[in-house]
Structure formats: structure tokens, C-alpha cells
Structure 1
Amino acid sequence: MIQPVSSEQMPSLEVLEQVLARSQESYRFRAGSIDTKAGVTLGAVGVVIALVGVTPSIAGLVGQVFAISAGIMCVLALRPRKGAGVNPVSFRDAYLQADPLASRLAYLNAALAEWAGDEARLKEKDKQFEAAVVMLLLSVGTVIAGAFASLAAG
């Protein structure tokens, strides 16, 4: 038989809830930051593609391929975040008449599981953004090298 638990038996529950709230706030800030940087990088990709033009040299064509790859990675990094949070209607239906401490624990466990998924998705977004930056740098480097080669040739 399960014995009722009192809040005195879990003195750090409020601390855990505060840590979770701060972690969720940090996640939103970091995810928004990656989204902003990916959007700016996507704009830079468009500039590189436009500057190379419609009749590029071989280096320009390679640069455009790198730029398009960078654009694809930016779009992948900008995909909407999947975390929908704890469904308040389902939570209400399940815990409206439950013990308040049991409700708090259930919410905390659900929010912690969601936090773990959010962090994994954030790492994925960060890797996609980093790949986009590397590809954009390769694109710009290739275009600049091609421009110097064209100037040297003639």
C-alpha cells in the first residue's frame, strides 16, 4: 500500500521547481538565440548566391553549392521546436481531485521529461547551425579564391 507523502518529507521540492523553471527559461533564450543567428546566416547565404550571379565560374558554382548547403542547414536549424509543454487539459482531468503534492510531483516529472527532449533538440539545432556556418565560410572562401584566380589569369 502506498503511504501518503507530506511536503515535510520533500523539503527541496520547491528548489527543484525553481531549477526547472530557470532551465526552461534558459532553453527558450538559447533556442531563440540560435534561431536568430540561423536567420541572419540564411540572409548571408542569399547575399552570396546573389553576388555570384547567374553565370558563375567554376569556383563561383562550387561556392553556390556550399551556400545552398548552408541555407538548407539554416532551414533545418530554424524548424519549429516540438516542445508543447504539459497539456493543461489532460493534467486537469487527471489531477484536479488528486493530492496537491502528488500533482506537483506529476507535473515536475512530466516537465523534466520534456526538458530532456528540449535539450536534445537544442543540441541538434546547434550542430545544424554550426554546419551552416562552416559551409557558408567555405562558400565565401571559394568565391573569393575564384575571384583572385580570375584576376591573376587576366
Structure 2
Amino acid sequence: MNPKNVIIIPPTFPNQPSGYLGTPGKTHVVGYARVEKGTGAGVQIRKNIRQLIADRPEWELVYVTTDYYKTQNQDLTYSSFFNICKTIRLGCVDVLIIYSANKREEDYSIAEWLFQLCGECGVEGYIARNNSLLSVCDFIL
């Protein structure tokens, strides 16, 4: 028998960070919002977050994810919330922007939990409200 050369390629795990998402050297930003399904709010939120970070050329928006409020035709969803938590814990992001659309109290209660996680993992947290970025220092949760 002829011996054959075998090249072993080590496995890559997509859930294991090999660094950050996005462009190396940039500040990596993810956005999160709760919206009503079918309103097209997700697209508008992405546009608004891009405008808010436009004056920070070192920041790069990696993605924006949304969950849905409970309505008559839609159950409350949390899948994007858990994915954001995972991204923060893995250290793949530098900045989290929570977009507050309408239900301010619910948005702030979500922010309170996420900001605690951000603090533990070294991620900056902001709430986007009325064309402004508010940091944890801007209000008391």
C-alpha cells in the first residue's frame, strides 16, 4: 500500500470568537430594538442608528436586530435579545445601542439588564432616543 499524505484542517467554530465582527481596528457597534411586526420599523431603525454614529468614523455598524412587542396578532419574541446577550458575552462587540421607539418603560427595563451585562463584559451601552445617544451616565436606571 502507498502511504498517503493527509492534511488535517483544524475545525472552526462559528460560535467561538476569533476576534470581532466587522472590520479590524474599528469600534464595532450592534443595535437592538423592539418593534411592532409589519411596520417596517427595523429598516428605519437601522437608518437612524447609522445617522447617529455618522460623526464617529471609527465606529462601524455591524448589524441591527429586532424583537417584536406583543400585539393582538404577534406574540412577544426574545430570540434577538438572547443573541445580543451571547454576542456581548463572547466579546465580539464594543458598543451596544438600544433603540427606544415607543414603549419607553419596557425599553428601559431591557436596557437596565443589558447595561449590567455590558458593564460586566466591557461593552459600552447607549440608548438611542430622539436623535441622541444616551449613555448609562445620562440617566439613572
TM-score bin, normalised by smaller chain: under 0.3
The normalised TM-score by structure 1 is 0.23
Pick the structure with more strand per residue. Answer: 2
Pick the structure with more helix per residue. Answer: 1
